[in-house]
């Protein structure tokens, strides 16, 4: 306007005409000017963003790859599963199994999902099922790949545990049942009129029947504890009350075993959140083990101690230790004592009426109470089983 000495209305009219011309330009012409790759790249970006949002909402690890196996995005569970996983890195940097890498490279051509299973031993033993699904049809040469992972470790461990549990339980019941059947057949046959055989066999039959009863009771108790393992108790219990009841009920058993039982109490009320009957069962199981496997004529002590809070802990802990002066336990057996049906000496345990389930019940009860069981023992120097529970401060 300044150089050409144009009037203001004429300049505005020309500018508005230019804007209107551009606005009325056909969309196809614009696409041709911008090129065919831009709409495709914008669509791909929108698709990747949508997949990232969806993946973040899934509870299982999800990784989105491009056709070459480069990581486009991954959700939080995948990042927690694979610490080195980064966007832009190749998937082979975290999963090197040949079957999986073959499935990734063949996914665009295959055009359908495929599931492979692989196992890892480091840093921890783990078994994974991986589903590799192309996000494009089989005719297309390019497209992203969705990788969905599922951890099978816990499922397989539980299935193995169930199989072992059934095998052990059936084995433990088979022995007394076979004994009872043999004695009954003998009394019905050759010893039918033999009073001496009856007097000799009947006490053994009664003991075998009692053994099966103890085993079934222990199995039922363990089943009930496992059913409620995820539900923490809400009642307030004074551990002094539990210690007193345990001392009263176990004193006759100690006298019958020819052993001396000492019960120590806390100097003031020791309040925890728990189930009184289950905590009493914990003490009974631990003391009964000490009386069974301790030295004849020995001592069993129940010690009570308060552990004050340390560092960031807001409350202290109560420790109840069952100490015996028995033969002790070799160190290689200590990590497995709380397993079902595990025994240090199988013959001695069966002879003394043990079921192999007492410490497993103790462990599950303490897990429900958010407590701990510590075991310390040396051959020839006795054993100490310590139960630790969180303190509840009075309001």
The reply to whether 59 and 71 lie within a common domain is: yes
Position 132 scores a pLDDT of 92
41 domain-assigned: no
The reply to whether 159 and 243 lie within a common domain is: no
Closest listed residue to residue 74, CA positions, set 57, 61, 59: 61
The reply to whether 120 and 143 lie within a common domain is: yes
The reply to whether 349 and 207 lie within a common domain is: no
Query: Does pTM surpass 0.85?
Result: no
Position 19 scores a pLDDT of 63
CATH number for the domain spanning 223: value is 1.10.287.130
The reply to whether 277 and 183 lie within a common domain is: no
**Mean pLDDT, each 10-residue run in order, the chain (395 residues):** 62 68 56 49 56 76 89 87 85 88 87 86 77 72 81 79 73 79 85 83 84 80 75 88 91 88 91 91 91 86 88 80 90 86 71 75 89 90 92 71
55 domain-assigned: yes
The reply to whether 272 and 182 lie within a common domain is: no
300 domain-assigned: yes
Number of domains present in the structure of the chain: 4
Position 319 scores a pLDDT of 94
The reply to whether 297 and 371 lie within a common domain is: yes
The reply to whether 146 and 158 lie within a common domain is: no
Asked if 322 contacts 287 with a C-beta cutoff of 8 angstroms, the reply is yes
Asked if 74 contacts 62 with a C-beta cutoff of 8 angstroms, the reply is yes
20 domain-assigned: yes
356 domain-assigned: yes
The reply to whether 107 and 176 lie within a common domain is: no
The reply to whether 91 and 130 lie within a common domain is: yes
367 domain-assigned: yes
The reply to whether 215 and 345 lie within a common domain is: no
The beta strands (E) that lie in 86-238 are given as 114-120, 126-134, 145-151, 236-238
Position 110 scores a pLDDT of 82
Contacts of 103 (CB under 8 A, 6+ apart): 114, 116, 130, 132
What is the extent of the structural domain holding 7? 1-35
Give the integer Cα–Cα distance in Å for 38 and 31: 8
The reply to whether 218 and 243 lie within a common domain is: no
Give the integer Cα–Cα distance in Å for 389 and 319: 7
196 domain-assigned: yes
Single out the residue in 151, 178, 198 at which a domain terminates: 151
């Amino acid at each position: 306007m300044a150089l050409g000495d144009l009037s203001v209305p004429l300049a505005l009219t020309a500018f508005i005409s230019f804007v209107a011309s551009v606005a009325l330009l056909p969309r196809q012409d614009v696409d041709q000017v911008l090129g065919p790759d831009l709409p495709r790249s914008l669509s791909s970006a929108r698709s990747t963003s949508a997949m990232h949002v969806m993946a973040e909402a899934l509870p299982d690890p999800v990784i989105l790859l491009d056709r070459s196996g480069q990581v486009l995005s991954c959700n939080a569970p995948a990042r927690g599963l694979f610490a080195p996983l980064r966007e832009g890195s190749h998937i082979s940097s975290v999963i090197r199994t040949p079957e999986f890498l073959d499935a990734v490279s063949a996914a665009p051509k295959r055009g359908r999902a495929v599931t492979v299973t692989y196992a890892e031993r480091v840093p921890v033993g783990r078994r994974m099922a991986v589903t590799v699904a192309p996000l494009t049809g089989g005719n297309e040469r390019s497209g992203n790949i969705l990788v969905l992972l599922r951890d099978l470790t816990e499922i397989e461990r539980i299935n193995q545990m169930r199989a072992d549990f059934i095998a052990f339980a059936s084995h433990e019941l088979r022995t007394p049942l076979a004994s009872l059947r043999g004695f009954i057949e003998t009394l019905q046959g050759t010893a039918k009129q033999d009073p001496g055989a009856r007097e000799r066999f009947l006490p053994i039959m009664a003991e075998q029947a009692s053994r099966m009863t103890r085993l079934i009771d222990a199995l039922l108790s363990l089943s009930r504890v496992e059913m409620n393992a995820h539900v923490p108790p809400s009642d307030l219990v004074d551990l002094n009350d539990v210690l007193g009841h345990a001392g009263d009920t176990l004193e006759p058993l100690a006298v019958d075993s020819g052993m001396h039982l000492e019960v120590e109490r806390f100097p003031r009320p020791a309040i925890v959140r728990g189930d009184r009957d289950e905590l009493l069962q914990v003490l009974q199981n631990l003391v009964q083990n000490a009386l069974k496997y301790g030295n004849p004529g020995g001592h069993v002590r129940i010690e009570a101690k308060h552990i004050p809070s340390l560092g960031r802990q807001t409350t202290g802990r109560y420790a109840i230790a069952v100490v015996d002066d028995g033969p002790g336990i070799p160190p290689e057996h200590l990590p497995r004592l709380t397993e079902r049906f595990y025994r240090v000496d199988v013959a001695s345990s069966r002879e003394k009426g043990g079921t192999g389930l007492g410490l497993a019940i103790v462990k599950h009860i303490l897990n429900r109470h958010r407590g701990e069981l510590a075991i310390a023992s040396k051959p020839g120097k006795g054993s100490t089983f310590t139960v630790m529970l969180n303190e509840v401060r009075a309001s």
